[in-house]
Amino acid sequence: MANECSVDAAALQLLNGTGSRRSGKKPFECAVCGKKFDRASYLDKHLRSHTGEKPFKCTVCDKKYSYEDSLRLHLRIHTGVMPFECTVCLKKFRIGSQLREHLKVHTGERPFQCTVCLKEFRKGSQLREHVRVHTGEKPFQCTVCKREFTIGSHLKRHLKMHTGEKSVACSVCNKKFRTSSTLKDHFRTHTGEKPYECAV
């Protein structure tokens, strides 16, 4: 009877996902990539990275997300909640990782170094993009005109030329622009700022 009870308890722990973490076992395996998990719920979550399923929808703008946490972070755009504040300049951020990245501006920390030219970067993603300057790799291609880009954001900006999309709006007059740099130039018409001086 005691043996029967321990088997049932172990089975229950496996179903709940409570026993596998303590034992270090990962019995739930992804059939697509072979990655293993200690809980069935973690495997379910992971599977969305393969299926592209996005069951969590923003009720404000209808944007969809694969994970509930991602939706929660997104909602801060609408609510304006920025709980992470820089103690140096008091700038606020929605996500803790954004604050950690920002702090490198003040510390001057650039932990990622190019092995070719020794240039240093604050972010690993910046280094990865930079390395393509040396390799000539352009992994992002426009589906319309086949032009290739080293950086994904450059392709995104380029695509707006084909679609005519103007997604960046002026907070003063609501005029829309394709890029934030164009908006920045436009904004000076409201502020009167003239950063460029004629030397003649």
What are the tokens at 84?
A: 């992470």
Range of the domain at 123: 118-164
172 in the same domain as 160: no
Residue 148 pLDDT = 93
Gap between the Cα atoms of 54 and 33, Å rounded = 20
Shared domain for 157 and 123, answered yes or no, is yes
Cα 14 from Cα 130, distance rounded (Å): 46
Q: Is residue 53 part of a domain?
A: no
Same domain, 160 and 173: no
Q: Cβ atoms within 10 A of the Cβ of 43, count?
A: 19
Q: Is 186 among the domain residues?
A: yes
Do residues 147 and 159 both lie within one domain? Answer: yes
pLDDT value for 192: 80
pLDDT, one tens digit for every residue, the chain (200 residues): 444 444 454 444 444 444 445 567 889 999 989 999 999 999 998 998 888 899 999 999 999 999 999 999 889 888 989 999 999 999 999 999 999 989 999 999 999 999 999 999 998 989 999 999 999 999 999 999 999 999 888 888 888 888 888 778 888 898 888 778 888 888 888 888 777 777 77
Q: How many domains does the chain have?
A: 2
pLDDT at 36: 93
